[in-house]
Amino acid sequence: MSDKAESAITPGSTAASGLWVIKLGGSLARSRHLTRWLQAIAQEGAGRAIIVPGGGRFADEVRNAQRLWRFDDAVAHRMALMAMQQFGLMLCGLNAGLASAQSVVEMHAALRYGKAVVWLPLQMTDAAGDIPMNWDVTSDSLAAWLASRVNARSLALVKFCRPNQFAPEIGEGAAVQALSEAGIVDPAFPAFMPAGVVLHLFAADQHAQLGGCMNAAESLP
């Protein structure tokens, strides 16, 4: 049995086919909308949502240090994963309805307990052999990678920018490629986006739309 098969949350398990992976951009750390997103996810995503934290200012410091000291991308990649861990721990500290998890087993347990989950990525990504260790892969691609690992039905990206030129729900490969070319997602994202997972794009101030979107997706066959 493959690692992916062993680790996946299957459609018959707690999260079932309604599982959402929600990437919160690190730039939200400077936004008044951050706590509103956390409240929306804790309430609407209880038992069915996994947050992937961005790196934000923590990752910015990694980029700054790499420019100064010229260490290689593999080192910077792992430091950036630690930046995501830091932001993830911060998110859990801001809302008691969130539980951190480092493995799919921990995610499963927290979802069964009725929590929304914040993924701390270092443990799982350290064990993965299919993630390039460079800046082409950011938390966008890691969110898509996780969506595949846990058999998520939907992937939501919450961005500080307002992507007016794109529909809130994006399912076709051409549209996903356009997001990458526009710089809204990272260059590796189209390759990581799993087939069959519905991609939703939210601007920072669209937290009030999450519940309706999740419930509408739940009603689909």
What is the percentage of the chain residues whose pLDDT exceeds 70?
85
pLDDT tens-digit map of 41-80:
999 999 999 999 999 999 999 999 999 999 999 999 999 9
Q: What is the pLDDT of residue 13?
A: 47
Strands 198-203 and 116-119: unpaired
Provide the 8-state DSSP code for 163.
-
Give me the half-sphere count of Cα atoms (radius 13 Å) on the Cβ side of residue 129: 3
Instruction: Give first-to-last CA distance, the chain, whole Å.
Output: 29
User: How far apart are the C-alpha atoms of 210 and 37, rounded to whole Å?
Assistant: 9
Q: For residues 25-44, give the mean pLDDT.
A: 96
Residue 1 pLDDT > 60: no
Residue 16 pLDDT > 90: no
Please, which residues have CB within 8 angstroms of residue 110's CB and are 6 or more apart in sequence? 99, 101, 117
CA angle 118, 27, 97 (to 5 degrees): 25
Q: What is the pLDDT of residue 167?
A: 47
In degrees rounded to 5, what are phi and psi of residue 83? Answer: -65, -40
118 and 99 Cβ atoms separated by less than 8 Å: yes
Q: Which residues of 163-182 are buried (b: 16+ CB within 10 A; e: fewer)?
A: beebeeebeeeeebebbbee
pLDDT category of residue 160 using cuts at 50, 70 and 90: confident
pLDDT category of residue 7 using cuts at 50, 70 and 90: low
List the single range of 56-70, 97-111, 158-172, 193-207 with lowest mean pLDDT: 158-172
Q: For residues 197-202, give the mean pLDDT.
A: 93
User: How far apart are the C-alpha atoms of 34 and 102, rounded to whole Å?
Assistant: 22
Structure-token match 């309706």, residue found: 212
Q: What is the pLDDT of residue 139?
A: 97
Q: What is the pLDDT of residue 169?
A: 57
